[in-house]
Amino acid sequence: MRQTWRWFGPADIASIDDMLQAGVEGVVSALHHVPNGVVWSLEEIAKRQQQIATRKDGSPSGIAWEVIESLPVSEDIKKQKNDWRQHIENYKLSLENVARSGLEVVCYNFMPVLDWTRTELRYRVASGGTAMRFDINDFAVFDIHILQRRGAAEDFSEDVRTEAARRFQGLSDEQRKVLARNVTMGLPGSTESLTIQEVQAHLDEYGHISPDQLRRHFVDFLGEVVPVAEKLGLRLCCHPDDPPFPLLGLPRVMSTEADYVYMTGMVESPANGITLCSGSLGARPDNDLPGMMRRLGDKVHFLHLRNVKKDNDSLAGSFFEAEHLGGDTDMVALIAAIIAEERKRRAAGRADWQIPMRPDHGQDILDDLGRRSQPGYPTIGRLKGLAELRGIMTALEHAEFGLR
Catalytic residues: 239, 277, 304, 360-361, 377
- State the number of CA atoms in the 13 A half-sphere of 67 facing the CB: 27
Residue 245's closest CA among 323, 123, 139, 356? 139
**Contact partners, residue 151, CB within 8 Å, separation at least 6:** 249
Could you please report the per-residue DSSP string of 142-154? Answer: IIIIIS--TTGGG
Integer Cα distance of 270 and 258 in angstroms: 18
Report the 10 Å Cβ neighbour count for 278.
28
Q: Is 242 helix (H, G, I), strand (E, B) or coil?
A: coil
Crossing angle between the packed helical segments 379-397 and 331-347, to the nearest 10 degrees: 60
User: What order do you get walking across the sheet with 307-310 strand by strand?
Assistant: 120-124, 130-134, 319-322, 307-310
Q: Is 321 helix (H, G, I), strand (E, B) or coil?
A: strand
